[in-house]
Amino acid sequence: SNPDTCLAYFFFSYTDKAKQNTFNMLSSIALLLAERISNIPSRVIALYNNNKSRPPMSVVLEIITRLARCFHQSYILLDALDE
């Protein structure tokens, strides 16, 4: 496993309503990226702290973008082939 590369993934499911939701997918991707970073950027922490309950989609996208920039290469895999 290369610490400069990150793979985040989400599997959509037609049997699980929570796994059909865009917000849940983006939140899951953000969490997977954050789990791989030892020093999360202060701006990401501030965005999270200011929007804990349910941040706007734009905030979640900004968090994902900032977290992905912590790696030399970031890959996001979305699986919905059978959905």
Domain holding 60, by residue range, is: 5-79
Residue 3 CA: distances (Å) to CA of 11, 22, 36, 53, 81:
23, 27, 8, 30, 29
Q: Reply yes or no on whether the pLDDT at 83 is more than 90.
A: no
In this predicted model, what pLDDT tens digit does every residue of 4-52 receive, in sequence order? 999 999 998 888 887 888 999 999 999 999 999 999 999 999 999 998 8
Number of compact structural domains in the chain: 1
pTM: predicted TM-score of the whole model, two decimal places: 0.86
